[in-house]
Structure 1
């Protein structure tokens, strides 16, 4: 869920300088498409809440 959200935000702007070859960009888009197909949660009304909880679980804990 976190990766899919990041990929979506990354794709909102042009990052053509980031990719050295068009094949890398193709893999990037394909990866996002695979994640979208497997993540029905993106259509949930409480998606933002679920995303926040997922981030909290993954985030490094500060001691």
Structure 2
């Protein structure tokens, strides 16, 4: 989202727009007390965080 916006707008403006969108997401999640559904403006995120815990004691063989 940022890269596409930065091509059309100055970087400072693009960062401000992304910050505003993130603030909207945070506000919605906190006020509705719902889990974030992993989409941004109707599109799934390109990368999702993998849970780091609990870890397996040893790798599968």
TM-score, normalised by the number of residues in structure 1: 0.38
- Higher-Rg structure is 2
Larger helix fraction of residues: 1
TM-score, normalised by the number of residues in structure 2: 0.39
Higher RCO (CA < 8 A, seq sep 6+): 1
